[in-house]
Amino acid sequence: MLQILVDEEKCIGCGNCAEICPKSAKIWKVKDVAHILDLRYCHVCTLCAMECPTQCIKIERNG
């Protein structure tokens, strides 16, 4: 089970996550803060987390 959690307290809405993500249009929506739309398209490259300036993206994979 894949989960990507955005800490909305720390997100500054810069859009780096959406810009770097290869499947951005299907996964990310950034308004004031970043939201995940659909993780089925995520291939867990972790680029979004690496590009986040406030380290507010947490990627978790269980099982």
Interacting residues toward ligand SF4 by CB under 6 A: 4, 6, 11-17, 20-23, 27, 30, 34, 42-48, 51-54, 56-57
Question: Closest distance between ligand SF4 and the C-beta of residue 60, in Å?
Answer: 11
**Which residue, 3 or 22, is less far from ligand SF4 as judged by CB?**
22
3-state secondary structure string across the chain: CEEEEECCCCCCCCCHHHHHCCCHHHHEEECCCEEECCHHHCCCCCHHHHHCCCCCEEEEECC
Question: Closest distance between ligand SF4 and the C-beta of residue 62, in Å?
Answer: 16
Question: Closest distance between ligand SF4 and the C-beta of residue 37, in Å?
Answer: 10
By the 8 A CB rule, do 21 and 47 touch? yes
